[in-house]
Chains A and B, each alone.
Chain A
Amino acid sequence: GAVVSQHPSWVICKSGTSVKIECRSLDFQATTMFWYRQFPKQSLMLMATSNEGSKATYEQGVEKDKFLINHASLTLSTLTVTSAHPEDSSFYICSARDHRGVETQYFGPGTRLLVL
């Protein structure tokens, strides 16, 4: 159990376009989802905490107008990278927390974004 999916798994886009990434909890409800960014050979950096039915909480230094987060249901959160630029190229990973047990975060497989 506790499977989290992400779509797409990779995307290549032109500079200036917007990219939407979906994160779904497949077999459990997640009132809270997290979005991380990971640059090569670096750790995961938390971007924002997404709560179902309310506005996301962004970490310091993360532009909320640049990275739009919507958590419309208990199983789906989306991250939209608006007007993407080459420096936004990264590995974006979501996680969903299952509140039934020890509040473990289950990670999606990640989305590799390359902005040309």
Chain B
Amino acid sequence: GQQVMQIPQYQHVQEGEDFTTYCNSSTTLSNIQWYKQRPGGHPVFLIQLVKSGEVKKQKRLTFQFGEAKKNSSLHITATQTTDVGTYFCAGSGLRFRGATNKLIFGTGTLLAVQP
């Protein structure tokens, strides 16, 4: 079945350092979404990428969708303590007629930021 892996599993950075998490799918995706889950909380939608090679920015966060639509990355510039949490990518597979397009979540990357 479809698998979505993320690396690294865990990263500890000093405040102000950059951070990147990579997401790789075993199959081609129709779109990819990114979520952030704070400790004890629920996933919060960050962004969706649809086009091959698409790059989107949200303040210090940069999201990229690979040309083959099988991988994606999230880069945070100059991390802050408020960035702490687990970042999940979630892939949506190619839609088949009449099928509900479900999300397959990646394994997640836990980011710890030391002040």
| Chain A residues, Cβ within 8 Å of B102 | 34, 46, 49
Residue of B whose beta carbon sits closest to that of A93: B42
Residue of B whose beta carbon sits closest to that of A91: B42
Q: How far is the CB of A92 from chain B (nearest CB, A)?
A: 11
Question: What 0/1 pattern do residues 30 to 48 of B give for CB contact below 8 A with A?
Answer: 0101010000011111001
Query: How many interface residues does chain B have, given as a range?
Result: 20 to 34
Interface of A is mostly: strand
Given known A-B contacts A104-B33, A105-B33, A43 and B45 have beta carbons under 8 A apart: no
| Chain B residues, Cβ within 8 Å of A106 | 45
Whether B20 is near chain A, meaning CB under 8 Å from some CB there, is no
Q: Chain A interface (Cβ within 8 Å of chain B)? A: 32, 34, 36, 41-46, 49, 51, 57, 60, 93, 102-110
Indicate if the CB atoms of A107 and B88 lie closer than 8 Å.
no
Indicate if the CB atoms of A102 and B42 lie closer than 8 Å.
no
Question: What 0/1 pattern do residues 62 to 103 of B give for CB contact below 8 A with A?
Answer: 000000000000000000000000001010100000001111
Q: Chain B interface (Cβ within 8 Å of chain A)? A: 1, 31, 33, 35, 41-45, 48, 50, 88, 90, 92, 100-108, 110
Residue of B whose beta carbon sits closest to that of A104: B45
Indicate if the CB atoms of B106 and A43 lie closer than 8 Å.
yes
Given known A-B contacts A104-B48, A105-B33, A107-B45, A46 and B100 have beta carbons under 8 A apart: no
Indicate if the CB atoms of B48 and A102 lie closer than 8 Å.
yes
Q: How far is the CB of B72 from chain A (nearest CB, A)?
A: 15
Q: Of A42, A93, A105, which is in contact with the most chain B CB atoms at under 10 Å from its CB?
A: A105
Q: How far is the CB of A95 from chain B (nearest CB, A)?
A: 8
| Chain A residues, Cβ within 8 Å of B41 | 109-110
A106 to B1, CA, bound (A): 24
A51 to B90, CA, bound (A): 20
Given known A-B contacts A43-B88, A43-B106, A57 and B100 have beta carbons under 8 A apart: yes
Residue of B whose beta carbon sits closest to that of A111: B42
